[in-house]
Chain A
Amino acid sequence: EADIYQTPRYLVIGTGKKITLECSQTMGHDKMYWYQQDPGMELHLIHYSYGVNSTEKGDLSSESTVSRIRTEHFPLTLESARPSHTSQYLCASSEPAGRNEQFFGPGTRLTVL
């Protein structure tokens, strides 16, 4: 079944740890996105990719990094987690052409102690 997956769903980690949030989609979409969302608040785009080996920073400055080595996989990494990184991270993908909606994963809720 075509879908978009995020793991882990919940992560509680200590300050200074390196973490990677996984995002995979089986829809064959070229375009993928990472958003940061505080609970019940608006979404902020932090990274996006228009295809393999293409990554761009979004509108909200973020200390995280991303990679796009395979079409279906778009992981987000924090080299040294801090409490200010506590948030929900949402991954999305879309078909080309600009007319199409973005499909969202279930999100990862990150808590840094």
Chain B
Amino acid sequence: AQSVAQPEDQVNVAEGNPLTVKCTYSVSGNPYLFWYVQYPNRGLQFLLKYITGDNLVKGSYGFEAEFNKSQTSFHLKKPSALVSDSALYFCAVRERENTDKLIFGTGTRLQVFP
């Protein structure tokens, strides 16, 4: 069965430092991978996706993610964190071929300190 894992419940980083939020996946077939961000009392906002092509995917708000097939990972990165990046981040994978159903990870809370 398809699945995603976010091994860190929380990531703390100082403002201006690079940040990484980890995600690993398990799929049969080609993975379609997504990152979403959720601010308090809000719905999820789409950040970026990997379908095919370049392993480095650029998204909204300066975020990027690197698809690594050999390590089955799709880590979210940003070169310089902002306090306003503090939020809950979800990785997701398409459930199976020919479906739009997504399986979400358990979420990682990012805290950026001034």
Interface residues of A (CB under 8 A from B): 6, 31, 33, 40-43, 45, 48, 58, 90, 92, 94, 96, 98-107, 109
Distance, CA A31 to CA B95, complexed state (A):
15
Other-chain residue from B94, B104, B109 in contact with A40 (beta carbon distance below 8 A): B109
Other-chain residue from A42, A98, A107 in contact with B100 (beta carbon distance below 8 A): A98
The count of chain B contact residues (Cβ–Cβ below 8 Å) is: 25
Interface residues of B (CB under 8 A from A): 32, 34, 36, 41-46, 49, 51, 88, 90, 94, 97-102, 104-107, 109
Distance, CA A34 to CA B94, complexed state (A):
16
Sample of 26 A–B contacts (CB below 8 Å): A33-B101, A40-B107, A40-B109, A42-B105, A42-B106, A43-B44, A48-B101, A58-B101, A90-B43, A90-B44, A92-B44, A94-B100, A96-B100, A98-B94, A99-B49, A99-B51, A102-B44, A102-B46, A102-B102, A103-B46, A104-B36, A104-B43, A105-B43, A106-B43, A107-B41, A107-B43
